[in-house]
Amino acid sequence: MKAWQFKTKDDREILIRHAKISDARDLHQNFCQVVHESEWLPTLRPNSNQAEWAEWIQRTYGNREILLIAHIDAEYVGHLSLQPEEWAASAHVARLGIIVRKPFRGFGIGKALMVAAEDAGRQQRYEKITLSTFDNNAIALSLYESLGYRLVGKRERHFQMPKGFIDEILMEKPIV
């Protein structure tokens, strides 16, 4: 499988590759950590376990789902998923999800993951990527806009989080 290499803003190597079953522990732990931040994901408690992450990784080997892992110096720093829309008529569309470990945010890892995902998405015959984020996630919104994603909608008061209601921002980008 293909791998991608990028540089962080402080000139370290970022290696991005497809997930392996052995990544399940890192993926699950990071997901739980981000959930416990109570700021960036629309869930209030972790809703999966390590075995379910391993099963998901295994499924990606036989379908069009994409699960990419980012490493710096062999250390897991984040991941990104592209999942096909559920309807046959929108099989050309992938939904994006992304998580970067807190100590590694702001170094260009998210951007590297997204650039690699667009390449991997084209290889899987996707023509468009959609995503959503909280309206108060200014850093993510800035990243998405810088990569050419455009605002296509806003769902007001869509999530009730510990800090109150949050609007959901919907974005998309053609990748062909």
CATH code at 60?
A: 3.40.630.30
Sheet (strand 93-100) strand order: 3-7, 13-18, 66-72, 75-84, 93-100, 128-134, 164-174, 150-161
Query: What's the total number of domains in the chain?
Result: 1
Q: Phi first, then psi: give them for residue 165, nearest 5 degrees.
A: -75, 145
What is the distance between the alpha carbons of residues 72 and 35, in angstroms, rounded to a whole number? 22
pLDDT, tens digit, 9 for 90 and up, residues 121-159: 999 999 999 999 999 999 999 999 999 999 999 999 998
Per-residue tokens: 29? 């732990």
Mean pLDDT along residues 49-70: 95
| Cα–Cα–Cα angle for 105, 155, 122, rounded to 5 degrees | 55
pLDDT at 33 (0 to 100) = 87
pLDDT at 45 (0 to 100) = 74
- SS3 string, 45-95, reads CCCCCHHHHHHHHHHHCCCCCEEEEEEECCEEEEEEEEEECCCHHHCCEEE
pLDDT, tens digit, 9 for 90 and up, residues 104-116: 999 999 999 999 9
pLDDT, tens digit, 9 for 90 and up, residues 9-40: 999 999 999 999 999 999 999 998 888 777 77
Q: What range does the domain containing 40 cover?
A: 3-174
pLDDT at 44 (0 to 100) = 66
- Residues 103 and 152 sit within 8 Å (Cβ to Cβ): no
- Residues 129 and 165 sit within 8 Å (Cβ to Cβ): no
Query: What is residue 17's three-state secondary structure?
Result: strand
pLDDT, tens digit, 9 for 90 and up, residues 63-95: 999 999 999 999 999 999 999 998 999 999 999
What's the pTM value of the predicted model, to 2 decimals? 0.93
